[in-house]
Structure formats: structure tokens, C-alpha cells
Amino acid sequence: MKSWKVALLPALANTRLTVALDNGVGLKPHMGWSSWNVAQCNAASASYALATADKFISLGLKDLGYEYINIDDCWSTKSRDSSGRLVPDPAKWPNGIKAVTDRIHSMGLKFGLYGCAGDKTCAGYPGNEGHERGDVDQLVSWGVDFWKYDNCYTPCRQNPRPQTCTSPAGSTKTWYAPMRDAILGVQNTKKLHFNLCNWGRDEVWTWGASYGHSWRMSVDNWGDWASVERIGSAAAGIYQYSAPGGFNDLDMLYLGSSKLNTNQEKLHFGLWAITKSPLVLGLDLEKISNSTLDIIRNKGLIDINQDSLGKAATTFRPPGAPAPVNGKIYPYWAGPLSDGVVVGLCAGTSAGTYSVNFKDVPGLGGSGSYEWREMYTGQTGKGTSASFNIGLHDMRVIKVMKV
């Protein structure tokens, strides 16, 4: 009996049922803001963090569920202190990190920091390799809630290790495990959200849930339409790996940068929402336009993203529809919700009339009558189908419920 248990456990450890970091965190895709796409290293400061927290309140974002203020690369000094500890850059954190997390917590928000599994971060700051437990203890002492963990300068067959290794010396799992274990080690004191940023290597979606609460499934969103196409289309094939406690992370929302027009911003936000990606704003909230603000404050879409079922939408092919094209955004998406089904219609390659018969939608099927509401226009309807004129690169998202 004993040997049976021993033999079975390692196998179970790799299934979606056993979440190693099952600490009650990350049951829904996380929502927040990250400094990286705002001004890279220059935005990794107390002043950006606190100004953003104020904006979360004044713009009503906190009430909509935006919660995490995450500081990315470049928050520390370039070397550790004589005791091997990380040192917050005093020019960026004049009162230290804890003063900032205390303030952010007092506002009902959470605070995140960034580390790296290699010996340096991507921007060349100290990495966490070999310092995992000590560094996590530091995070806990500062009250940090969220930890993004990057993949630069990790073990590599190239010598010296390059920033981005093209010939890794092993699986990324090997260098993400020590940090996962360090986080497990402080579980009784602090429940950290562990965000794996290995850029989708080693099919992270197949094991990410045993290591963390969310995992980047691609290289960066560079903020252009090509990135939305590349990442959004790839999400369709890995939808089944997202569930409460562990979600595919499609990378930060790159709205408000002027690289996308309003239609493209709507499709970007809508697709990230229905595929249950974390919704992490990568923009300067001091400079946001009203049209971008309307998109990120769309309560209907946020409610779909945060639905308790935590199941991601994927593509479906109605009769007569063309086959999906690799790297292009397919028009028809659907996914289950706790109280209905979400259908996404994307004009990813051409403007036109997009229609859906509810009998063709997975999860609706069969006969019956339905009610629906569209999230961007507020349009509602009843019946067995819905149809929309959609401009190039725009999207419509309907929630459909049986009546």
C-alpha cells in the first residue's frame, strides 16, 4: 500500500488537479497595473506606484476589481548589500518599500514586485538564483503580495549566459522550482501570488498550475497589432489549461500607447477578457484618453473575465465558416460562464457582418430561445441568433442566456 502511494504521487503532481501553490490566491485572473510598459526602468519607483494607486481610486478602477500595483524590472540597486540582501534603489524608494506597501494596503490594494530566475534580471539587476528563500523572506517583511518571475540569464549552453538564452541547459521548470518552494515555505505567513514569466517556454501551460498562479504563454506583447494577433490567436489552443488558481497570462494590456486604434484596443481588451487572461494595465493612468478609459472600465467584460467558473473561451467553427489561419484572429469564440455562455465575434481580418446561430455555439446547442447582451454597445436581443456589423479589427462580445 505504501509503495502504491509513493508511485502514484509524482504522477498526480503533474495534473491540473493538484495545484502545488493552492493557497487560495489567484482563483480569478488577477487585475491591476504594471510599470514596465509605462516607462520601463524609469517607472519602477514609489512615485509611480503611489500615483497609480491614487488613480485606481479616483478613476473608479479599484471598484471594478483592479487591485495589484506591480513594479517590474529595475527597482533595486545594481548589487546586493554585504549580507547578500537586495537593496531597493534609494533614489526610487526614498522611504523603502514597506512604506509604499503599507500605504497601498491602507487603500485596499495590493503590491507586486519583480524578480528573475537567473543570476541577473533582464535589465541587468541582481537575479534571485541561489538566493530564493532569503529574497522571499525580504518580500514578506515588506508586505509584498505578488511576485513576477522572469527568465533572463538562466542556465544556458552558451557561455557566458546571454540575456535571452536560445539553447537552455535544461527545462525552465528546474529554475522555477526553487522559487516556488521558497514561496511554499512562507505560506503560513504570507500567501504570495506567483506569476511565472518564462515566455511560454517548455509548454508552461501544461505544468504552470503546479508551480504558480499564472504563467506568461508568449514572448512580450510589443503593443502593436501584430502582437495582439500573435498572442490572441495562440490563446485558442491552450484554453483548457486555465482554471481557478492557475491562468494563461497573455501579457500586459498594451492600450493607450497610440500603436493601436480604438477598434484594435477593443479587440485586445475583449479577447484578453474572454480568454481569462489577467487584466494588467500597461499604461500611464495620468495620460489615459477617454476612449481607452471606457474600454478598461467595461464592467460587463470585467465580470465575464472574473466569472467564478474561470473557464477560458476558445474558437469554434460554425457550418460554412473558413478554417482558422495560424497567427490570425479567428472570428468565432465562445466559452462557458457560471450563468450562461460568452460569444466573441472578431473582425480580425476584415470588416463585415458577423452572425452567430446559437445552435452552433458549444454550450448552447439544441433548441431553445435565448436572451443576449452585447458588452461594447449595450445592445440586447432575444431569439436564436445575433448579427453585427463590425469594423476592421473591432470586436463584439455577447453574453447569451437561455430563457
Between 125 and 372, whose beta carbon lies closer to ligand GAL? Answer: 125
Nearest residue to ligand GAL on Cβ basis: 122
Between 197 and 346, whose beta carbon lies closer to ligand GAL? Answer: 197
> Which string of DSSP letters, residue by residue, matches 343-362?
EEEE-SS--EEEEEEGGGST
Q: Name the minimum Å distance from CB 284 to ligand GAL.
A: 16
Place of cell 509513493: 6
Q: Is 224 a catalytic residue?
A: no
Asked if 37 and 287 count as a contact pair (C-beta separation under 8 A), the reply is: no
Between 149 and 239, whose beta carbon lies closer to ligand GAL? Answer: 149
* Of the candidate residues 43, 46, 67, 73, the single one contacting ligand GAL (CB under 6 A): 73
> Which string of DSSP letters, residue by residue, matches 300-320?
HHHHHHT-TT-PPPEE---TT
Q: Is 89 a catalytic residue?
A: no
Asked if 283 and 64 count as a contact pair (C-beta separation under 8 A), the reply is: no
Q: Which of 22, 137, 220, 303 is catalytic?
A: 220
Site residues for ligand GAL, 146-165, by CB under 6 A, read 150, 152
Q: Name the minimum Å distance from CB 72 to ligand GAL.
A: 5
* Of the candidate residues 122, 228, 343, 347, the single one contacting ligand GAL (CB under 6 A): 122
Dist. CA 123–CA 68, nearest whole Å: 22
Helix, strand, or coil (residue 95): coil
Output the nine-digit C-alpha cell for 398: 455577447
Q: Name the minimum Å distance from CB 286 to ligand GAL.
A: 21
* Of the candidate residues 197, 281, 345, 364, the single one contacting ligand GAL (CB under 6 A): 197
Q: Which of 150, 249, 284, 307 is catalytic?
A: 150
Between 72 and 394, whose beta carbon lies closer to ligand GAL? Answer: 72
Strand partners for 400: 341, 372
Q: Name the minimum Å distance from CB 360 to ligand GAL.
A: 37
**Phi and psi, residue 253, nearest 5°:** -75, 120
Residue 220 contacts ligand GAL per CB under 6 A: yes
Residue 194 contacts ligand GAL per CB under 6 A: no
Dist. CA 104–CA 101, nearest whole Å: 5
Measured at the alpha carbon of residue 313, what is the angle toward residues 308 and 314, in degrees to the nearest 5?
160
Asked if 192 and 145 count as a contact pair (C-beta separation under 8 A), the reply is: yes
Asked if 298 and 279 count as a contact pair (C-beta separation under 8 A), the reply is: no
Q: Name the minimum Å distance from CB 282 to ligand GAL.
A: 9
Residue 113 contacts ligand GAL per CB under 6 A: no
User: Which residue, among 151, 180, 163, has the nearest Cα to 124 in the 3D structure?
Assistant: 163
- Residue span 13-42 as binding mask against ligand GAL, x where in contact by CB under 6 A, dash where not: -----------------------x------
* Of the candidate residues 123, 250, 273, 375, the single one contacting ligand GAL (CB under 6 A): 123
Between 40 and 79, whose beta carbon lies closer to ligand GAL? Answer: 40
> Which string of DSSP letters, residue by residue, matches 184-244?
HHTTTT---EEEE-STTGGGGGGTGGGT-SEEE-SS---SSHHHHHHHHHHHGGGGGG-BT
Site residues for ligand GAL, 332-371, by CB under 6 A, read none
* Of the candidate residues 72, 132, 265, 374, the single one contacting ligand GAL (CB under 6 A): 72
Number of residues that bind ligand GAL (CB under 6 A): 9
Contacts with ligand GAL, residue ranges (CB under 6 A)? 36, 72-73, 122-123, 150, 152, 197, 220
What residues act catalytically?
Answer: 150, 220
